């Protein structure tokens, strides 16, 4: 008996696929559009840590699907590349002085080696790296298209600034208002930024979601992020001042309940309206508010703060004077940065009113507004011409009234903000514009790419600018004979991933970002698989760029990714409750993998899982699994763990189980072989398996497809003979899942071409049907029971079935059978006395 030597087999076939370019793909025009498939993985950031188990989860899924489709006659494009600009490489450079390019490329080599060791069928000729000059040439070019369309502009924007480190910080680097590195109180500072006008596409980004085959949860997150709301802008006069205050409200119907107003601490009119008595208190408050992040300011759990400005607004519907407060729960960046406060019907306003003892006036019946804000629908009261109306009609009526009286208009607002697109960092695409005596000008296309120069120090400049400002040979240029300076801000990490799926289509094109024919041939992406953490940023930014390119006539589809699938997270430390206590998942016989949740407080804990993380020392390294069990086991196990889209815990026992299955397949190949026809029951088992594996693979239900293959192999083991025809069909089914083993056993049958290029097997519907009959059981000629049983049973078995049937047994109790009548395949009649 030979040994399943996966560590010899696997590299051998990987080399064979690569050398024979088995997965190379071309634009074959004779293949119709519906037979072309573009399958995309979210390309990895090449971190120093290498691949983790989450990467192969998605990659195996797309690889199986791609191989399956290839065998079904599809022209399959399935590329891989690297999202290789990013902060970790730059931080490492600050620490060690090693240029980010060097570390990044080392990491990429490591990633490629690891990815290749899993036997994925990528067309490596199309590999891209976002930090390659040939790649970011076109990232810069696309930026210039946005710039020329007026969608990229410069603006002073408030950012988090650490006065001690002298640098801007990302939101994630601010902990409780303090710098993550030195614990200094972080300030908000206005810094010159490049901004992309994504808000110009808000409506289309929202509407076009409807036609996408994406998880509802991701669509919901994008809808929330865009946050479209409808309401009204209402103008309030400010008493004794010559200016008005505009507010945005989604509830103009509650205008009669407005008892005070609030402006954000950054509101431009504060200075003008604050009374002399309130001046110092207001100024002090503004200073404090500047230290807080938006998140802290809007946190519902935090108590409200504010200060009276000394000024009053005049409610346009009833002429009442209401105080204007300054409070940081109102953000300058939303609506008009000022609100009318209706404490009876808005939770934040209610809390504020309670805190500062401001009046609460009910205008909708339904709750006790002295106890709690009533935010549901109801019937209007205390509201003059709105009394008796419900919320919806009242909103419409109030907007009509406001418009007729010229003190308000219908308005739409979005939470979505324009996208701050510049970073004061080195390791990113330089923004390709010049600052000249005549203002900002784009560099000429012929000068692209504007490449990153070598620098000696990667430390931020200390003035909030990137390390590039110190490289005067690079920064100082001439433009039309006059001195000019290059832009030293670079693009954020998201830039390269906004369009990479287009570059795969034509990765070596020197003249264009993509050839239009190739774009038309492949787009849109038919299946995009990756983690759920990209629900908003990457997936929204890429849709935005794509729509801009669409408007410029540079791509032919409105959307880049037609179907999106989120893989579930692979977790660790799994325990499940069994007979009252929590036991490690490895010891639970059939764990309910779809039920794992993080610890639920308050209830009895049923399962416990933990994320894999370095600090918990529970990270599984794919390399270890591959060297101990092989890539095929790794692939199969990750697919067998549970449905692709659910989160599931790693189980070492599960890996062993799957490995045992592959070993059984291997050993079967050593059985005595025959070209004779296999017994009927095996043929039927095969056809059932082909049917189930085909439809499950089609629907990305890989775990159940694998179970079916296991059932088939169990059936084979009942005969222990290798029926070569049957066997070769099974190997075809196995090949997308365990491609190395299938390829090896395929060649062992004497085949000389790759199994990957064979045709997927088909089945006969008739042969997938169970051979069952309905057996009628009678007592003294009366029907007492009916049961389904296998068809080919003999008289003796029929009698046994009848006599052991529970219902029949009841009739037999205390009686004697005097006659047994058996009609084969149909009926048993027992005559009793």
Q: Which residues make up the interface to ligand ANZ (CB under 6 A)?
A: 229, 248-251, 254, 330-331, 334-335, 337, 339-340, 342, 345-346, 413
Cβ 394 to ligand ANZ shortest distance, Å: 11
Q: How far is the CB of 254 from ligand ANZ (least distance, A)?
A: 4
Residue 13 or 236 having the CB closest to ligand ANZ: 236
Angle between helix axes 537-551 and 216-226 (nearest 10 degrees) is: 70
CB of 374 to ligand ANZ, least distance (A): 9
Cβ of residue 348: shortest distance to ligand ANZ, in angstroms?
7
| Helix, strand, coil abundance in the chain, percent, nearest 5 | 40, 20, 40
Measure Cα distances from 190 to 61, 170, 430 in Å. Answer: 46, 14, 21
From the CB of 160, what's the least distance to ligand ANZ, in Å? 19
Please, what is the minimum distance in Å from the beta carbon of residue 534 to ligand ANZ?
A: 24
Compute the distance between CA of residue 648 and CA of residue 434 in angstroms, rounded to an integer: 51
- For 332, other C-beta atoms within 10 Å of its C-beta total 17
Instruction: Kindly report the number of other CB atoms within 10 A of residue 608's CB atom.
Output: 20
- Comparing CB distances to ligand ANZ, the nearer of 267 and 659 is 267
How far apart CA 259 and CA 203 sit, in angstroms, is 34
Pairing mode of beta strands 722-723, 673-674: parallel
Token pair of 681, please?
């029951």
CB nearer to ligand ANZ: pick between 260 and 737: 260
Q: Which residues pair with 229 in a beta bridge?
A: 413
Nearer to ligand ANZ, 84 or 254 (CB): 254
Between 295 and 821, name the residue whose CB sits nearer to ligand ANZ.
295
Q: Which of 92, 94, 124, 113 has the alpha carbon at shortest distance from 50?
A: 113
Q: At what angle do helices 54-71 and 631-640 cross, to 10 degrees?
A: 90
Q: At its nearest, how many Å lie between ligand ANZ and the CB of residue 340?
A: 5
Decide whether 334 or 504 has the Cβ nearer to ligand ANZ.
Answer: 334
The residue among 9 and 226 lying less far from ligand ANZ, judged by its C-beta, is 226
Give SS3 for 337: coil
Greatest CA separation for the chain = 120
How many angstroms separate the first and last alpha carbons of the chain? 61
Between CA 559 and CA 605 the distance in angstroms is 43
On whether the CB atoms of residues 322 and 313 are closer than 8 A, the answer is yes
Tokens of 336: 């008009």
- Encoding tokens for residue 415? 């939470």
Nearer to ligand ANZ, 250 or 618 (CB): 250
Under 8 Å between Cβ of 226 and 201: no
Which residue number, 66 or 335, has a Cβ lying nearer to ligand ANZ?
A: 335
**Contact criterion met (CB below 8 Å) for 98 and 91:** no
Shortest reach from residue 274's CB to ligand ANZ, in Å:
19
Separation between Cα atoms, residue 66 and residue 529, nearest integer Å: 12
CB of 332 to ligand ANZ, least distance (A): 7
Nearest one of 441, 431, 561 to 498, comparing CA atoms: 561
Residue 188 CB, nearest approach to ligand ANZ (Å)? 16
Nearer to ligand ANZ, 131 or 391 (CB): 391
Q: How far is the CB of 414 from ligand ANZ (least distance, A)?
A: 9
Q: Between the CA of residue 437 and those of 142, 155, 432, 440, 441, what are the distances in Å?
A: 25, 18, 17, 8, 10
Considering the complex, state which of residue 199 and residue 789 has its C-beta at the smaller distance from ligand ANZ. 199
Q: Which of 77, 118, 334 is nearest to 229 (CA)?
A: 334
Q: Which is nearer to ligand ANZ, 116 or 292 (CB)?
A: 292
Tokens of 435: 């600052």
Strand partners of residue 312: 323
Over the range 97-117, which residues count as b (16 or more CB within 10 Å of their CB) and which as e?
A: eebbbebbbebbebbbebbbb
Cβ 559 vs Cβ 208: under 8 Å: yes
Residue the block writes with tokens 């849709």:
543
Least spacing, CB of residue 330 vs ligand ANZ, in Å: 4
Residue (337 or 408) nearer to ligand ANZ, CB: 337
Q: How far is the CB of 321 from ligand ANZ (least distance, A)?
A: 18
Q: Tokens 């970073």 identify what position?
A: 423
| Cβ distance to ligand ANZ smaller for residue 229 or 789 | 229
Q: Residue 761 Cβ, how far from ligand ANZ at the closest point, in Å? A: 55
Cα gap 314→234, rounded to integer Å: 11
Beta bridge partners of 772: 790
């Amino acid at each position: 008996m030979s040994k399943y030597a996966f560590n010899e087999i696997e590299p051998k076939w990987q080399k064979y696929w690569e050398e024979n370019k088995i997965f190379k793909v071309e634009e074959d025009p004779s293949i119709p559009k519906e037979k072309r498939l573009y399958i995309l993985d979210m390309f990895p950031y090449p971190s120093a840590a290498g691949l983790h188990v989450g990467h192969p989860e998605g990659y195996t899924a797309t690889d199986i699907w791609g191989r399956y489709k290839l065998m079904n006659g599809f022209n399959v494009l399935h590329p891989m590349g690297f999202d290789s600009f990013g902060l970790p490489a730059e931080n490492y450079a600050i620490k060690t002085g090693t240029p980010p390019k060097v570390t990044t490329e080392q990491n990429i080599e490591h990633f490629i080696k690891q990815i290749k060791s899993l036997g994925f069928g990528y067309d490596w000729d199309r590999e891209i790296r976002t930090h390659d000059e040939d790649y970011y040439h076109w990232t810069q070019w696309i930026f210039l298209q946005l710039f020329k369309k007026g969608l990229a502009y410069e603006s002073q924007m408030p950012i988090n600034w650490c006065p001690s480190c002298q640098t801007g910080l990302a939101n994630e680097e601010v902990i409780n208002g303090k710098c993550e590195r030195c614990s200094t109180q972080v300030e908000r500072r206005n810094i010159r930024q490049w901004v992309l006008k994504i808000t110009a596409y808000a409506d289309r980004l929202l509407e076009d979601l409807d036609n996408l085959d994406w998880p509802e949860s991701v669509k919901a997150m994008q809808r929330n992020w865009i946050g479209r709301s409808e309401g009204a802008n209402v103008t309030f006069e400010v008493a004794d001042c010559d200016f008005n205050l505009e507010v945005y409200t989604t509830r103009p119907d509650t205008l009669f309940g407005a008892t005070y107003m609030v402006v954000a601490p950054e509101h431009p009119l504060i200075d003008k309206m604050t009374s002399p008595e309130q001046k110092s208190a207001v100024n002090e408050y503004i200073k404090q508010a500047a230290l807080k992040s938006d998140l802290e300011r809007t946190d519902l759990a935090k108590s409200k703060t504010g200060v009276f400005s000394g000024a009053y607004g005049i409610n346009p519907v009833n002429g009442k004077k209401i105080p204007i407060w300054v409070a940081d729960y109102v953000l300058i960046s939303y609506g008009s940065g000022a609100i009318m406060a209706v404490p009876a019907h808005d939770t934040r306003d209610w809390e504020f009113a309670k805190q500062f003892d401001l009046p609460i006036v009910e205008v909708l019946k339904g709750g006790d507004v002295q106890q709690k804000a009533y935010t549901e629908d109801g019937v209007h009261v205390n509201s003059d011409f709105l009394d008796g109306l419900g919320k919806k009609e009242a909103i419409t009526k109030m907007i009509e009234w406001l418009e007729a009286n010229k003190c308000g208009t219908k308005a739409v607002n979005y939470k979505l903000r324009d996208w701050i697109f510049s970073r004061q960092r080195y390791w990113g695409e330089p923004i390709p514009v010049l600052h000249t005596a005549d203002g900002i000008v784009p560099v000429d296309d012929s000068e692209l790419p504007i490449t990153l120069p070598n620098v000696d120090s990667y430390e931020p400049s200390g003035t909030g600018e990137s390390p590039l400002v110190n490289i005067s040979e690079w920064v100082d240029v001439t433009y039309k004979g006059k001195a000019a300076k290059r832009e030293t801000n670079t693009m954020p990490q998201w830039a390269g991933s906004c369009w990479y799926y287009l570059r795969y289509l034509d990765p070596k094109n020197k003249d264009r970002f993509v050839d239009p024919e190739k774009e038309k041939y492949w787009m849109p992406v038919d299946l995009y698989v990756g983690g759920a953490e990209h629900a908003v940023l990457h997936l929204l930014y890429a849709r935005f760029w794509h729509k801009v390119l669409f408007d410029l006539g540079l791509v032919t589809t409105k959307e880049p990714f037609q179907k999106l699938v989120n893989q579930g997270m692979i977790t660790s430390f799994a325990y499940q409750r069994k007979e009252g206590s929590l036991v490690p998942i490895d010891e639970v016989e059939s764990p309910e993998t779809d039920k794992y949740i993080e610890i639920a407080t308050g209830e009895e804990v049923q399962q416990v899982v933990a994320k894999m993380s370095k600090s918990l020392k529970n990270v599984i390294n794919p390399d270890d699994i591959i060297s101990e069990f092989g890539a095929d086991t790794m692939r199969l196990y990750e697919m067998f763990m549970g449905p692709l889209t659910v989160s599931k815990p790693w189980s070492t026992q599960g890996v062993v189980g799957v490995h045992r299955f592959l070993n059984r397949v291997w050993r079967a190949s050593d059985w005595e072989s025959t070209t004779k026809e296999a017994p009927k029951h095996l043929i039927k088992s095969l056809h059932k398996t082909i049917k189930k594996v085909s439809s499950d693979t089609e629907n990305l239900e890989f775990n159940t497809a694998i179970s079916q293959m296991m059932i088939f192999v169990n059936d084979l083991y009942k005969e222990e003979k290798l029926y070569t025809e049957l066997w070769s069909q099974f190997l075809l089914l196995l090949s997308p899942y365990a491609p190395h083993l299938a390829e090896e056993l395929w060649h062992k049958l004497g085949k000389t071409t790759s199994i990957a290029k064979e045709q997927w097997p088909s089945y006969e519907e008739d042969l997938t049907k169970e051979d069952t009959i309905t057996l009628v059981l009678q007592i003294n000629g009366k029907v007492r029971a009916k049961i389904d049983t296998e068809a080919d049973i003999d008289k003796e078995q029929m009698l046994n079935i009848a006599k052991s049937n529970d219902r029949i047994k009841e009739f037999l109790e205390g009686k004697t059978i005097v006659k047994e009548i058996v009609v084969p395949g149909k009926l048993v009649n027992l005559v009793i006395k």
